[in-house]
Amino acid sequence: MRIETLLASKGNVVATIRPDAAVGEAVASLAEHGIGALVVSRDGEHIDGILSERDVVRGLHDQEAGLLTEPVSSIMSSTVYTCAPSDDTDSLMATMTDRRIRHVPVVEDGVLAGIVSIGDIVKTRIGELEKDRKELVDYINAR
């Protein structure tokens, strides 16, 4: 399955935050949206970094509560792995596993077009396997 197909069913809304926003604001946004990562972007279209729950936890370990007033840019991951809408979910799943990342922004023509989580990939894969299973059972029962 292609990423564009996954986004067509999931949607392409991406929660973003500015790099100069306070980490406390990012934590509130993560909780409010029930998500595990925010794309860091000055304009909502171009990627400056990504901030995950993991980044926040590590930052809290190092800086304690003082971290909450620091800018997001101080703890965000500036190296962001992205994918294109034309990429397939199997190769993205392999990349996410190899690089130990759970969120990958989708970029089209240099502009943020969506985000895919490992949960989205797993849900899609389970759906594909369930469809295959049903087709096999129907085939067997038809004989």
Residues whose CB is less than 8 angstroms from the CB of residue 123 and which lie 6 or more positions away in sequence, other chains included: none
Indicate the domain borders of the chain.
3-142
CATH number of this structure's domain 3-142, picked from the four choices 2.120.10.30, 3.10.580.10, 3.40.50.620, 3.40.640.10: 3.10.580.10
- Taking the C-alpha atoms of residue 39 and residue 77, their distance in angstroms, rounded to an integer, is 10
pLDDT of residue 76: 96
49-86 tens-digit pLDDT? 999 999 999 999 988 888 999 999 999 999 999 999 99
pLDDT at residue 77, as a whole number: 94
**Which regions in the chain score pLDDT beneath 70?**
none
Which pLDDT belongs to residue 138? 84
Residue 115's pLDDT is what?
A: 96
pTM here?
Answer: 0.87
DSSP assignment letter at 121: H
Q: Are 68 and 49 in contact (CB under 8 A)?
A: no
